[in-house]
């Protein structure tokens, strides 16, 4: 597909009423981004915003800078929305999704509840049994650049995590093309908003300012999600060493993947592959030098640089963890699912927090 082509039209925004949208968990960081993007979307009517702790208050009185005047609700009638975006803690969306789907809504889940295909793996990493195991097989992983056709026909859409988004954009093209060994090392760094809006001592300004540290060295829970997708791309087993770091910035992800080319693969092969990959989506930018996270702040864009060092391909990806790594990707998937222009509602920047 050409870089600026739109998705297949499944319903025309020119001839039908606006899509009725609701955001559940609208006052968390991802929920805030979803709400702002949907409120400005030309083909959408934002009809409901939900948030348990702020129920009964006007949304604009709770979220700084918002112009949305809807009253925050605690419960939703599934029939009142065509699409429900869930920005909830893990297990909560899965417990509600069957009712939402039965009510006729398309569900776009921003939590980890439907990212894994294996219920046992979910229980291992999240410490609880999956609340809706029968739905795991129905969910489509919403990496639009990698699964565009499947997203277009899905009623239950799972938005990838922020670390997996950057990691998969860096690694999947080379794996699918059969250019690299299935043994990958990824060093990734995230801003503090990736931990959510809940108050935590470890995320206080005094704890993170002027300091960088690695965490999850023994195994980050997003690794299982990445491995599922990497193995699908490779058509076989993949070894992944993934180390995340917390850096003292509000938002952004920078992932650097170290990929060992197969014999005969050159720097030109890698460069041409990623240039062609970036041409498949209006939200992928082929960077001519390693990108900075600030270049994509507040957007649904991913800046990708394919480098080379001593026979090793070094692919760096910069995204906004709340945008391309969260709400932006959710709206992008919604556009594909409902046949809207692919970039609709995603041209502006959302900069809170």
DSSP string for 85-140: EE---TTHHHHHHHHHHHTT-EEEE-SSTTT-S-HHHHHHHHSS--S-GGGGGG-E
**Whether residue 245 sits in one domain with residue 116:** no
Let me know whether 296 and 178 are in one domain. Answer: yes
Q: How far apart are CA 249 and CA 91, in angstroms?
A: 28
Catalytic residue among 34, 110, 162, 278: 162
Q: Are residues 177 and 314 in the same domain?
A: yes
Q: Examine residue 181 and state whether it is found in any structural domain, yes or no.
A: yes
pLDDT at position 139 is: 95
Is 65 within a domain?
A: yes
Quote helix, strand, coil % in the chain, to nearest 5: 35, 20, 40
Using pLDDT thresholds of 50, 70 and 90, give the confidence band for residue 319: very high
Residues 202 and 247 in one domain: yes
Write the CA distances from 257 to 174, 238, 254, 317, 342, integer angstroms: 11, 14, 10, 8, 28
Check pLDDT > 50 for residue 20: yes
User: What pLDDT shows up at residue 320?
Assistant: 97
Residue 175 shares a structural domain with residue 145: no
Question: Do 164 and 141 contact (CB within 8 A), yes or no?
Answer: no
Instruction: Report pLDDT for 149.
Output: 93
- 139 shares a domain with 173: no
Who wins on pLDDT, 157 or 120? 157
Q: Does 146 share its domain with 195?
A: no
Indicate whether 241 and 305 sit together in one domain. Answer: yes
User: Which of 101-105, 197-201, 211-215 is the least confident region?
Assistant: 197-201
169 assigned to some structural domain: yes
162 in catalytic set:
yes
Residue 41 to residue 35: CA distance in whole angstroms: 10
Query: Closest Cα partner for 121 from 240, 243, 236, 225?
Result: 225
Has residue 4 been placed in a domain?
no
pLDDT given for residue 268 in this prediction: 98
CA distance 320 to 330: 13
Residue 213, domain CATH: 3.30.360.10
In a domain, 344, yes or no: no
Q: Tell me which of 221 and 16 has the higher pLDDT.
A: 221
Residue 351: the pLDDT is 80
Residue with tokens 């910069």: 318
Examine the domain organization and report whether 229 and 154 are in the same domain.
Answer: no
Q: Which residue has the tokens 């049994």?
A: 129
Provide the percentage of residues in the chain whose pLDDT is more than 90: 80
| Residue 199 neighbours by CB distance under 10 Å | 7
Task: Work out how many domains the chain is built from and give that number.
Answer: 2
Tens-place pLDDT, residues 295-310: 999 999 999 999 999 9
pLDDT range class, residue 8, cuts 50, 70, 90: very low
Residue 264 maps to a domain: yes
> Does 24 share its domain with 154?
yes
CATH of the domain at 128: 3.40.50.720
State the sign of the Cα–Cα–Cα–Cα dihedral 72, 73, 74, 75: negative
13 falls in which pLDDT band (50, 70, 90)? very low
Residue 6 domain-assigned? Answer: no
Indicate the range of 155-164, 196-205, 239-248, 282-291 predicted with least confidence. 196-205
Q: Which domain holds residue 36?
A: 19-160+324-338
Alpha-carbon distance 289 to 11, whole Å?
A: 40
Tell whether 5 is covered by a domain. Answer: no
Whether 152 and 45 map to the same domain: the answer is yes
Instruction: Give pLDDT, residue 184.
Output: 98
Q: Residue 5 — pLDDT band, cuts 50, 70, 90?
A: very low
Q: Which residue has the tokens 């990707």?
A: 329
pLDDT tens string 24-47: 999 999 999 999 999 999 999 999
Flag whether pLDDT at 225 surpasses 60: yes
């Amino acid at each position: 597909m050409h870089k600026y082509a739109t998705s297949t039209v499944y319903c025309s925004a020119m001839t039908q009423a606006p899509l009725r949208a609701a955001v559940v968990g609208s006052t968390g960081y991802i929920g805030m981004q979803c709400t702002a993007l949907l409120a400005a979307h030309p083909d959408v009517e934002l009809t409901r915003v939900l948030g348990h702790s702020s129920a009964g208050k006007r949304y604009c009185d709770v979220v700084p800078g918002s112009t949305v005047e809807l009253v925050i609700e605690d419960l939703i009638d599934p029939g009142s929305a065509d699409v429900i975006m869930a920005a909830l803690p893990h297990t909560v969306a899965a417990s509600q999704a069957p009712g939402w789907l039965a009510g006729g809504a398309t569900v776009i889940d921003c939590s980890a509840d439907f990212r894994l295909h294996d219920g046992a793996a979910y229980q291992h990493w999240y410490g609880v049994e999956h609340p809706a195991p029968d739905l795991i097989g129905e969910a489509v992983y919403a990496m639009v650049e990698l699964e565009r056709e499947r997203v277009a026909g899905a009623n239950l859409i799972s938005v990838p995590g922020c670390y997996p988004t950057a990691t998969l954009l860096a690694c999947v093209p080379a794996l699918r093309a059969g250019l690299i060994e299935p043994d990958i090392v990824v060093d990734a760094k995230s801003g503090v908003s990736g931990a959510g809006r809940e108050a935590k001592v470890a995320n206080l300004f005094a704890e993170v300012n002027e300091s960088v540290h690695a965490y999850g060295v023994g195994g980050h829970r997003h690794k299982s999600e990445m491995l599922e997708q990497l193995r699908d791309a490779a058509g076989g087993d993949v070894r992944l060493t993934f180390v995340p770091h917390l850096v003292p910035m509000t938002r952004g992800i920078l992932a650097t993947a170290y990929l060992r080319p197969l014999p005969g693969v050159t720097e030109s092969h890698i460069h041409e592959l990623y240039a062609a990959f970036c041409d498949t989506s209006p939200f992928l930018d082929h960077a001519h030098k390693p990108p900075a996270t600030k270049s994509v702040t507040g957007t649904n864009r991913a800046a990708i640089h394919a480098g080379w060092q001593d026979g090793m391909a070094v692919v760096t990806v910069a995204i906004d963890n709340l945008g391309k790594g969260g709400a932006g990707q959710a709206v992008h998937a919604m556009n594909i699912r409902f046949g809207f222009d692919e970039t609709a509602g995603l041209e502006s920047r959302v900069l809170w927090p």
